[in-house]
Amino acid sequence: MRVGEAYIKIPRTLGSLFSSMLITKFKNPSRTPPFSPQGIISKTYPVCLTYAMGDAAGKKPGPPPGPAATGGPEEDDEEDIDFKQGHVINKRWQVERKLGAGNCGAVYLVRDLQAKAGRGKSRFALKMEPIIEGKMLVLKKEVDLLKNLIDRKHVPRLHYSARRPRYTYMVMTLYGKNIFELKKDCKLEVFTPGCVSRIGIHALYGVKQLHEVGFVHRDVKPANMVIGRGKEARVIYVVDFGMARRYAIWEGGKVHHREARETALFRGSFRYCSPHVHDRHEQGRRDDLWSVMYSMIFLLNGTLPWVGKSVEADIKASKNATTDEQLLAKAPPEYLVILKHIRSLGYKQRPDYKLIYDQLRATMDRLKVTFFDPYDWERVNKSNRTQSMSLANSYDEKNNSQKDKAKEKPLEPVKHGAKTGKSCERIATPTKVTSAESKSAPKPGKSEAKKKDKSNSKAVKKDDKLVSKEEKTDRTDTYEDTQSPKPSHEVKFPTTDPAAFARNDIGL
């Protein structure tokens, strides 16, 4: 029998055993050992043959060969490739919970067991994709792309990647919620023009970084724009490069455009893709900017003219029938300049990123919005927390007043025409303490002061518990406070540098 480039002779005594094992596999395909879950004919077939020969010879089979991975040995062999809480991958990445799942795999929150002290620095996002025979690995493309972005700013960071016999995975920076989730959670139908313009600048910068290394995203949308964590809570990143494709290639030290296909497969989302994608044209840099623009209009208006339509032909017809003026009827006037520029671009033409940045920045300046102002979802969350604190304070005041009333002695009711007694005098006329009396009055002891401090601290703790409960419901996917301190200057945000939008790093 031939395995790879080598020939292995199977003794006749093993023939019947091997044949029975094949029959057993076909009868019960759910059985995994000694075959791979992909079936009889797979890349791991030699491994299965080694196990069969070892068992038939009366010898104890040794451990399976090491994984064809860049990350070293691992110890996970879960049948359904669904990592449970506490599962450790590669003796390093401990699963805490699943963040989400899709057609291409699942994403998990993991903790780096080799990380030093610091909760924020030890949490990462692990993206896993099962290996299915005959199916192209999407995760491999994403890993290759992230390696090209390693020297770029304002982009996701790849920390680790490996391939196992049954799946591939990569570990990347853990970010906060995406813009679509934030809009839904804060129950705002629309965002303000200033907030949308800031989102557009961050998204434009992130997409430009991708273009400068020769790739187009092909699936830009609010769900693929995420906020940072901790001090980067007001930085927005463009993520999920599973549908990205090279538009530029390097040959002989020179870069040139990849020739466009006559008919390209559909990639992206019907709602946010450019009109060219519906005609199955090759996607270029212009098409990513179409998606950025559609995303901004959706956040600004809360809808698009084709929202609610599910058939592609109807969506295409709606996009073609809607004029730029109709689409931007409620948008700032600067947005029309941007859309006219994007519409004029050809497949190989370089977009004027600086023009788009200048128009969005002009909107911010006109509306007197800065990069350090809270986003719309931050304002809503802050008001919710303030409201919960006021409710907590009023609740404590109500309870304290009831306790004080219970401690007080009941006063006799005063009848009309009756002589007022001491108790009535205490209610009608508050006693005034002179300076001499205040000096002679005994001061509260240390024990009384401690009791007072304890009661105040208990009230504060009670308020904190209510606030933390409110924050927990607002942010289920983050582990740090999304509020960030205001920096002293704008240079800390790379998106505020106009020169960064004017540079042509790729030369196309």
Please list the active-site residues: 219
The tokens for 500 are 């960064």
Cβ neighbours for 323, distance < 8 A, ≥ 6 positions apart: none
Residue 366, exposed/middle/buried by CB under 10 A (0-12, 13-18, 19+)? middle
Burial of 210: CB neighbours in 10 Å, binned 0-12, 13-18, 19+: buried
What is the phi/psi pair of residue 290, to 5°? -55, -45
Could you tell me which of 150, 152, 154, 151 has the C-alpha nearest to residue 495? 154
Token pair, residue 320, equals: 């073609």
Torsion angles phi and psi, residue 373, rounded to 5: -70, 150
Reported as type and span, the H/E element at residue 226 is strand 225-227
Instruction: Return phi, psi of residue 350, to 5°.
Output: -85, 125
| Residue 436: CB atoms within 10 Å | 8
Output the six-digit token pair for 181.
Answer: 């989730």
Residue 318 CA to residue 308 CA, distance in Å, equals: 11
Give the residue among 341, 362, 369, 344 at the shortest CA–CA distance from 353.
341
CA 252 to CA 416: how far, in whole Å? Answer: 108
Q: Is residue 134 classed as helix, strand or coil in its secondary structure?
A: coil
Alpha-carbon distance of 132 to 207, in angstroms, equals 31
Token pair for residue 117?
């002290």
DSSP secondary structure string, 294-305?
HHHHHHHHS--T
Which is nearest to 179 in space by CA: 104, 132, 234, 247? 234
DSSP β-bridge partners for residue 163: 168
Give the separation between CA 31 and CA 51, rounded to whole angstroms: 14
Give how far Cα 499 sits from Cα of 197, 357, 359, 503, 504, Å. 18, 10, 15, 6, 10
Decide: residue 390, CB within 10 A, 0-12 exposed, 13-18 middle, 19+ buried.
exposed
Cα dihedral value 253, 258, 259, 261, nearest 10:
160
Q: Which amino acid is at 453?
A: D
